[in-house]
A and B are shown apart, each in its own frame.
Chain A
Amino acid sequence: MMHRLGRAYLGLILIFLYAPILVMAAMSFNASQFYTLPFEFSTAWYAKLAGNAEILAAAGRSVWIACVVTVISTALGTMAAIALFRHDFPGKTVLRVLLFPPIAIPWLITGTAMLIFFFGIGLGRGTPSVILGHVALALPYVIVVVSARLATFDRTLEEAARSLGARPWKVTTAVTLPAILPGVIAGALFAFAVSFDQFVVSYFLSEPGDSTLPVLIYTAIRKGFTPEINAVSTLIIAVSMAIMLLAARFARFGGED
């Protein structure tokens, strides 16, 4: 009995989470511009999207920025996680705790703070600021995910490599990184998703005419709604979900080989 109730509850949660998304996805395939039923299947909005240079440019920019952010934050985050794993130093616990607020603080506030900061140091708005802002947001995710993987890493492997004459860089590349690779990949996917899906910080930090895809969608909605937005949103969701599924696979099940 409880078992069945539990299932029903889970079903309700999934409906609550995914029904709006499914409606949106369905409407992106509906021929009518005004969501009128009956549903008439059409890929017209996708065709129109493919011809929308502005949206395509924004999408390209989003992907490009996400890739740069992924590379930077994965490299920095992995190094930080390894350093936290290898060394004991005063304030280590405090440092670990300080990694969490960026995840918990509302992005609106983070975005405001970043905007003030970037203007304060003279960098202002623009793509470099967007990238820096995204890296700051993505870094804690990478560190947390890679650290989780390192927690199961046998450190005598590093000692064995050193005893055989390997210098620290060689120990890292030949022994540590291969062992934690699934965690690094999961961290990179998280970083990509954080950047690619980011709206608030991008909105604050990007220059007009240089917007990322989520910012452009927001601006477009304010001007007037077209099912093209449904189409592009559906694509974004598909990409993000694929990334999250991949990340979950690497983070959780990539463990034992």
Chain B
Amino acid sequence: MAEIRVEGLVKTYGAARALDDVTLTFPDGGFFGLLGPSGSGKTTLLRAIAGFVTPDRGRVWIGDREVTSVPVEDRQIGMVFQNYALFPNMTVAENVAFGLSVRGATRAEQATRVAEALELVQLGAYAARKPSQLSGGQRQRVAMARAIAPRPRLLLLDEPLSALDKALRVDMQIELKRIQREVGITTIFVTHDQEEALSLSDSIGILKDGRLIRHGPPREVYHAPGDAFTARFLGEANILTGTVEAAGLRLPDGALVPGKTPQIAVRPEALQLSLTPVPDALRARIVSRVFGGAMGTIVMDWQGQTLKATGRDADFAGLPATGDIWVTWPADQALPLV
């Protein structure tokens, strides 16, 4: 177990900056999600920590040890790959034992640790199978067991659940979280799925164009995104721009709404709708009502901009299919952006 730290990491591929001066500390024993659109550098950052990518500049620490120039095989990491990368010529038990045997564990030690690891992922009965005889979810768990068995100082997960179908993914999220808690190992994972990041992580970091633009506990980042990109990328956001006045934010159509910065984000679940005129409200038009099971979304048009409000579908039952609607939000729900 160890705290991981990267400092001033830079990696360029030709003209493209995959990592642009990234400095970040991953807390000991934490579950850290790296999040960003494709090409944002999140995978490059993970691979730089693993040692598969050599940064042009900057340094990487695992615990007290600087590993910037240490080869992958000496970093004592465990890694789970997107396609699991199980060795097809070996059984489940041989796969899990691989990291132990190359590090010189005795046969008896290997057997104990393999049994432990397979027990942890609840695949004790599958030790003798070949990877080709397993389902996607089982392969995922074997990959976890294989990564954990040598007791690495750090666990790296590269889009660990993206190859699974949605129902299975939710089960595996719970499973992953349980395993990580039981082992207590510092874990860094990369995902493009924001829901996955929010539900799994203790902390998240958001990357864009190779730069770390925001990091912190998921709730904190969600409720104080700080900039328009983060607000839109993590959950949905209605973003409004106007001029700041003493009493609030003056929007182009003249409405004076709560807000203390020229640009604010309001989460769809924070919007309050009224069919009768309300002071200091946006006057919008209903475009459509989207049914999403328990939750529903009202799509509206305001001055050519699309606004979205979400809530329990039942609460929207009284709304007409079209027509004017007045939109407000509590002052503390106007999230300031820079």
**A: which residues have CB within 8 A of B?**
154, 156-157, 159-167, 170, 174-175, 178-179, 257
Q: How long is the Cα–Cα vector from A257 to B132 in the complex, in angstroms?
A: 9
Complexed CA–CA distance, A174 and B102 (Å): 10
Give Cα distance in the complex from A154 to B89, angstroms.
13
A159 near B98: Cβ-Cβ < 8 Å:
no
- B282-314 residues with Cβ-Cβ distance < 8 A to A are none
Q: Known contacts A159-B52, A160-B81, A164-B150; is A170 also within 8 Å of B102 by CB?
A: yes
Whether the Cβ atoms of A165 and B73 lie closer than 8 Å is yes
Q: Is B103 an interface residue (CB 8 A)?
A: yes
Give chain A residues whose Cβ lies under 8 Å from the Cβ of B318: none
Bound-state Cα–Cα, A167 to B146, Å: 17
Contact across chains for A165 and B83 when beta carbons are under 8 A apart: no
Q: Contact at B73–A167, with CB atoms within 8 Å?
A: yes
- 26 chain-A/chain-B pairs, Cβ below 8 angstroms: A154-B85, A156-B81, A156-B82, A156-B83, A157-B85, A159-B52, A159-B72, A159-B79, A159-B85, A162-B52, A163-B72, A163-B73, A163-B79, A163-B147, A163-B156, A164-B73, A164-B98, A164-B99, A164-B146, A165-B103, A165-B150, A166-B102, A174-B102, A179-B88, A179-B89, A257-B132
Encode contact with A along B43-85: 1 for CB under 8 Å, 0 otherwise: 0000000101000000000000000000111101111011101
Q: Could you say which of A160, A165, A178 contacts B85, with CB atoms under 8 Å apart?
A: A160
Determine the distance from Cα of A157 to Cα of B150 in the docked complex, in whole angstroms. 17
* B87 within 8 A of partner (CB): yes
Alpha-carbon separation in the docked complex, A93 to B71 (Å): 27
Give Cα A163–Cα B157 distance, bound, in whole angstroms. 12
CA distance A251 to B146 in the complex (A): 31
CA A174 to CA B85, docked complex, whole Å: 14
A162 touches B89 (CB 8 A): no
Q: Quick check: B78 and A163 within 8 Å, CB to CB?
A: yes
Cα A163 to Cα B155 with chains together (Å): 10
Chain B residues with a Cβ under 8 A of chain A: 50, 52, 71-74, 76-79, 81-83, 85-89, 98-99, 102-103, 132, 146-147, 150, 156
Contact partner of A156 (CB less than 8 A), chosen from B85, B99, B156, is B85
For residue A171, give the distance in angstroms from its CB to the closest CB of chain B: 8
Smallest CB gap from B83: residue in A: A156
Contacts across chains A and B counted by CB atoms under 8 Å:
64
- B170 to A: closest C-beta gap in Å: 25
By a CB distance below 8 angstroms, the chain A residues around B74 are: 165
Interface centre among B52, B76, B87 (most CB of A within 10 A): B87
The reply to whether A174 and B73 contact each other, CB–CB distance below 8 Å, is no
Q: A157-B85, A164-B73 are in contact. List 7 more A-B contacts (CB 8 A).
A: A160-B86, A163-B79, A165-B99, A166-B98, A170-B102, A174-B98, A257-B132
Contact B102 A159 (CB under 8 A): no
Q: How far is the CA of A174 from the CA of B98 in the complex (A)?
A: 9
B102 touching A163, Cβ below 8 Å = no
A165 to B98, CA, bound (A): 9
- Given known A156-B83, A160-B81, contact A165–B88 (CB-CB < 8 A): no
Judging by beta carbons under 8 Å apart, are B79 and A178 in contact? no
- Which residue of A has the minimal Cβ distance to B72? A162
A69–B85 Cα distance when bound, in Å, is 35
Residues in chain A near residue B102, CB distance under 8 A:
161, 164-167, 170, 174
Residue of A159, A170, A175, A179 touching B81 (CB-CB under 8 A): A159
With CB as the reference atom, state the residue of chain B lying closest to A257.
Answer: B88
Contact B150–A154 (Cβ < 8 Å): no
Nearest-CB distance from B186 to chain A (Å)?
A: 15
Most buried by A among B73, B77, B88, B146: B73
- Chain B residues whose CB sits within 8 angstroms of the CB of A174 once the complex forms: 87, 98, 102
CB distance from B210 to the nearest CB of A (A): 22
Q: How far is the CA of A47 from the CA of B52 in the complex (A)?
A: 64
Q: Give the CA-CA distance A175 to B86 in the complex, in Å.
A: 10
Quote the shortest CB–CB distance from B233 to chain A (angstroms): 27
